[in-house]
Amino acid sequence: LTLFIHLSTLFGILVPWLYPFESFASKLLFISLNGSTVLILLNYYLCVVVDPGFVSPSYKPPPTTSAHLTPIVQTPNNVDPSNDTLTPFFCDRCQLYKPPRAHHCRQCNRCILRMDHHCVWIASCVGFKNQPHFVRFLFWTCVSCWICIVVLIMRLESVLFGVVHGQKQLEMQETVGELIIVGINFVVLTPTVSILTMLAYNQFHLLLTNQTTIESLNQSKRASFAYSGKRVDLSFHPYDLGGWIDNVNQVLGSNMFSWL
């Protein structure tokens, strides 16, 4: 779908309208549109081929783990109040111990390190190893779609400007095909951009607070417990390092150029 929007916008609107790209703005639009699409394909490929990070069969938990040093969200019942220790997590399906933040995926039939969710787009889980590529994939997909919207609006504005100022009939006939593509792309882009922007916003929010989707859902469950009369600290994110840069570094790496 993204490729269809990109190719139709590029060859159906941008090239017929602005070729040979003499102005700075036309060059910028051409480079931005193609560059963002290349980064979409690259990060999508990496999402698919890089495994999400599976729990090693050789993993052995420490004998006792301080509940304060290793806070956990998904299974608070694992904390023994008598000695303030955290019982090691064990997966009944894999018959293996697993570290905190790891979860068993039914579709993959494996325990995934820092599992975020199972994504049907990549037919795999988003986890410790491929989450950086997934975040970048979402970001550049949104950027590419918004660039397409800018191109559509600018082309529609130029056509309306030509109509108002009496553009030649022959030139107006040549733009009919472009206007059809503009209409189709607007219909396709409106729901696509809305959904992608909401998904990206949610993923970026989790990234900035060092949460996964699973942990965020458990946070919602804690909220429902609080509303039912139980005392729960809703502001507590146990893996939040205190600053958004530190949280982002833990997922995307300390080199800011690697964030893109």
Give the C-alpha separation, 122 to 186, whole Å: 26
pLDDT at residue 257 is higher than 70: yes
More confident residue, 40 or 20: 40
* Mean pLDDT of the chain, nearest integer: 79
Give the C-alpha separation, 174 to 213, whole Å: 49
pLDDT at residue 252 is higher than 70: yes
> According to the model, what pLDDT value does residue 198 have?
92
Give the C-alpha separation, 66 to 201, whole Å: 34
pLDDT at residue 137 is higher than 90: yes
Confidence of residue 250 (pLDDT cuts 50, 70, 90): confident
pLDDT at residue 74 is higher than 60: no
Between the alpha carbon of residue 105 and those of residues 21, 93, 102, 185, 219, the distances in Å are 49, 10, 10, 36, 20
Between the alpha carbon of residue 240 and those of residues 1, 72, 199, 210, 247, the distances in Å are 36, 12, 21, 5, 7
Q: Which residues of 229-252 are buried (b: 16+ CB within 10 A; e: fewer)?
A: eeebeeeebebeeeeeeebbbebb
Q: What percent of the chain has pLDDT over 90?
A: 21
Helix (H) or strand (E) holding 139: helix 131-164
pLDDT at residue 84 is higher than 50: no
> According to the model, what pLDDT value does residue 166 have?
60
> According to the model, what pLDDT value does residue 143 have?
92
> According to the model, what pLDDT value does residue 135 have?
93
Give the C-alpha separation, 32 to 147, whole Å: 8
| pTM of the model as a whole | 0.79
Confidence of residue 43 (pLDDT cuts 50, 70, 90): very high
